[in-house]
Amino acid sequence: MPNLHRLLERQLRKHVRGEPGPELQRLLQAVSEAYEQQDQERQFVGRAMELSSHELLEHNRALAAAQERLLAEVEQRKRTEYRYSLAAQGANDGLWDWDLETGGVYYSPRWKAMLGYDDAEIGDGLAEWLDRVHPDDLPRLRADIDAHLRRENQNLSLEFRIRHRDGQYRWVLCRGIAVKDPERATLRAAGSLTNISDRKLAEEQLRFEAMHDSLTGLANRSLLTDRLTHSLARNGRDPANRFALLFIDLDEFKVINDSLGHQVGDKLLIEVARRLSACARKVDTIARIPGDHVARIGGDEFVMLLEDLASPEDALRVAERVHSALSEPFSLGAHDLVARGSVGIATSDGGYTRPENVLRDADTALYQAKQSGKSCTCIFDPQMHQRAMARWSTETELRRAIERDDFELHYQPIVNGAGRLEALEALVRWRHPTRGQVMPDAFISIAEETGLIVPLGKLVLASACRQVRRWQLEIPSLAHIAVGVNVSHRQFVSPAIVDDVERILEETGLGPQSLRLEVTETAAMQSAVKTIETMARLRAMGVLIHMDDFGTGYSSLSQLQRMPLDALKIDREFVKEMNHDETSRSIVDSIIALAHTMSLRVIAEGVETVEQAARLAGAGCDYLQGYHFGRPMPAAEVALLVERREGLGARVRAV
């Protein structure tokens, strides 16, 4: 614009010579100012246009950025929804969405498929869900949903059963949460349904295994204790709710296990369990015995819990049926077995409050039944408990006595047919601190049952060998003397028996030919193969083996012939009756003849009269033993006996 102004001024000056007048100057000034104003306006418009373009550019940039953010958010949501979809598919859960305003419920295809339905086969009503819930679980489900909608719990989570299309119920886990508006009004609830049937099945299996015997499937001790506690509670509320506990133990099961193997033994236990369960179902007219009231609580021990008994005698009738059920042979592959059992019974008349006391007393009655013989039944009475406590006290004291060696040996003479002292039998006595001298009948059976007979037997053997060796060295007339020591079945089948005997002989210096180990006929037959093997090893050492109480057991001649014996000892009962009972005399004569045929010596026990001594000597009996020749005596009295040894001979020759 300034260039245009100067051009106009030059043109005006060409037409006007000299200096322009005032009016022309004003005109030029006005033109100049007009053009300057126009230039300013143009500059202002230019700047305004420049400013608007910048703002527009910035705005466009902001819009572009917002669009990018929106697209990113959309993409993120798509990824989130995709991940959620994958997670839902991976979790294999069915989804549900309940609109509380309309009452409609959205069920995902997976929700419907979990129940065996296609997508179009289930509508959108709440009844599609609730009508399929197990009747026992529906009240709890409704209560939990209502509590959650009232905001009493933060989340909805519970397990229940729901009906499948096949009519069976499936266990599911329902989880959900309610959605609320700003005014805290509940608008909708949504969540998932998870099939947990496999987990429930596994849990149920674990619970079953924890409460049942793995071999037979019967209830175990834990479940039995629970059921017995329930029976005690019923009886406590009303004594008319009588119950009884039958404790059943198989007779001679250990023999079956040892001889035929544990596999056969396990098969037998399974079959016994089946018969007892069947027996329980057949006695419903006498007593109520649910399936979980028959238990195996260990080894060959079974228990039956009877409820709703009219009288204690009903328990005896059930026991009779148990015996009958077990009396039929069991066919187990190549083996036909008979497994009889003994039964001990404890009834609610005992006023019990603790289940373990019922089991204890039934076990005590079972012990008494076994003492009475095989296949017996015994009902508990308080005297049994007193005897059991006395037996337990004896066992405890016996253990301490073995540790302190509170025993002494008495010796009973054994003479030959001419009355010469040939040997002594060592018989143990217990020096009790308060009861004085305790005879073996009071503690040997307990020692046998508890296994204490093994350490006790070692003490007796070592003491007898030590004492006899001392007599051999100190008393010339006893240099030939031998000693007989009783050995229990537990000792004889012990793997250490031969080593123990060898060690004791070496420590005491007694020659093996001076030791006679006596094992009863019954004990020898319990494990005949093992017994013969042990006898052979002992005989190889030079130790003599005598069979005690011969005639009272069940040995066969073939087994007897295979045993490396040196002598048979005739049981005292036959000797006692021989003078006035022809049968007993014939048995004694037969035993003597049999022994001599097998090149064995014969020892008669229980000789108490001169007539018995003369009769046995005349029949060819090799050795005699009994009160007629001397009672068992302490070691100090044996020397006095030796001084009277001529008198022993006279006692044999007296008749």
Topology of domain 400-653, CATH: TIM Barrel (3.20.20)
- Which amino acid would we find at residue 32? S
The helix (run of H) or strand (run of E) holding residue 41 is helix 22-91
pLDDT bracket for residue 216 (50, 70, 90): very high
Instruction: Write down the mean pLDDT value for the chain.
Output: 85
Both tokens assigned to 220: 């175990």
> Which strands form 242-250's sheet, in the order they lie side by side?
294-298, 301-309, 242-250, 341-347, 377-379
Task: Supply the pLDDT for residue 74.
Answer: 64
CA-CA distance, 283 to 290, in Å (whole number)? 11
Long-range contacts of residues 149-157, Cβ cutoff 8 Å, at least 24 apart: 149/100, 149/178, 149/186, 149/189, 151/178, 156/189, 156/191
pLDDT in tens, 530-571: 888 999 999 999 999 999 988 776 666 777 888 999 999 999
Task: Supply the pLDDT for residue 78.
Answer: 62
Q: Is the pLDDT of residue 512 over 50?
A: yes
What percentage of the chain exceeds 70 in pLDDT?
A: 85
Q: Is the pLDDT of residue 31 over 70?
A: no
pLDDT in tens, 257-288: 888 888 999 999 999 999 998 888 776 656 67
Task: Supply the pLDDT for residue 654.
Answer: 45
Task: Supply the pLDDT for residue 22.
Answer: 65
Q: Is the pLDDT of residue 302 over 50?
A: yes
Q: Is the pLDDT of residue 620 over 60?
A: yes
Which residues are bridge partners to 243 per DSSP? 307
> How many residues are given for the chain?
655
Mean pLDDT is lowest, of 37-51, 115-129, 432-446, for 37-51
Task: Supply the pLDDT for residue 655.
Answer: 38
- Which amino acid would we find at residue 297? I
Q: Which residues contact 199 (CB under 8 A, 6 or more apart)?
A: 171
- Which amino acid would we find at residue 352? Y
Mean pLDDT of 352-381: 90
Task: Supply the pLDDT for residue 252.
Answer: 84
Task: Supply the pLDDT for residue 449.
Answer: 84
Mean pLDDT of 611-627: 93
CATH architecture assignment, domain 213-380: 2-Layer Sandwich (3.30)
Task: Supply the pLDDT for residue 12.
Answer: 56
Q: Is the pLDDT of residue 196 over 60?
A: yes
Mean pLDDT is lowest, of 29-38, 83-92, 513-522, 549-558, for 83-92
CA-CA distance, 175 to 193, in Å (whole number)? 7
Q: Which residues of 78-116 are buried (b: 16+ CB within 10 A; e: fewer)?
A: eeeeeeeeeeeeeeebbbbbbebeeeebebbebbbebbe
Task: Supply the pLDDT for residue 646.
Answer: 46
Task: Supply the pLDDT for residue 642.
Answer: 76
Q: Is the pLDDT of residue 80 over 70?
A: no
Give CA torsion, residues 563, 564, 567, 571, to 10 deg.
-20
Helix (H, G, I), strand (E, B) or coil at 380: coil
| Residue from 582, 573, 645, 583 nearest 604 by CA | 573
Mean pLDDT of 591-603: 93
pLDDT bracket for residue 36 (50, 70, 90): confident
**Surface-to-core class of residue 200, CB atoms within 10 Å of its CB (0-12 exposed, 13-18 middle, 19+ buried):** middle
pLDDT in tens, 83-139: 555 555 555 789 999 998 888 999 999 999 999 999 999 999 999 999 999 999 999
Task: Supply the pLDDT for residue 366.
Answer: 92
Mean pLDDT of 367-378: 87
What residue spans of 451-568 are helical by DSSP H?
453-474, 489-492, 497-508, 521-526, 528-541, 557-562
| Residue from 332, 321, 320, 318 nearest 270 by CA | 332
pLDDT bracket for residue 151 (50, 70, 90): confident
pLDDT in tens, 123-148: 999 999 999 999 999 999 999 999 98
Chosen CATH of 92-201 out of 1.20.120.330, 3.30.450.20, 3.40.309.10, 2.70.50.60: 3.30.450.20
Q: Is the pLDDT of residue 316 over 80?
A: yes
Task: Supply the pLDDT for residue 64.
Answer: 74
Mean pLDDT of 422-444: 93
Task: Supply the pLDDT for residue 286.
Answer: 63
Q: Is the pLDDT of residue 495 over 60?
A: yes
Task: Supply the pLDDT for residue 160.
Answer: 95
Mean pLDDT of 297-305: 93
What residue spans of 238-381 are helical by DSSP H?
253-260, 262-282, 313-327, 355-372
Other CB atoms within 10 Å distance of the CB of residue 178: 20
DSSP string, 75-87: HHHHHHHHHHHHH
CA-CA distance, 137 to 158, in Å (whole number)? 10
Task: Supply the pLDDT for residue 556.
Answer: 67
pTM of the complete model beyond 0.75? no
**Surface-to-core class of residue 74, CB atoms within 10 Å of its CB (0-12 exposed, 13-18 middle, 19+ buried):** exposed
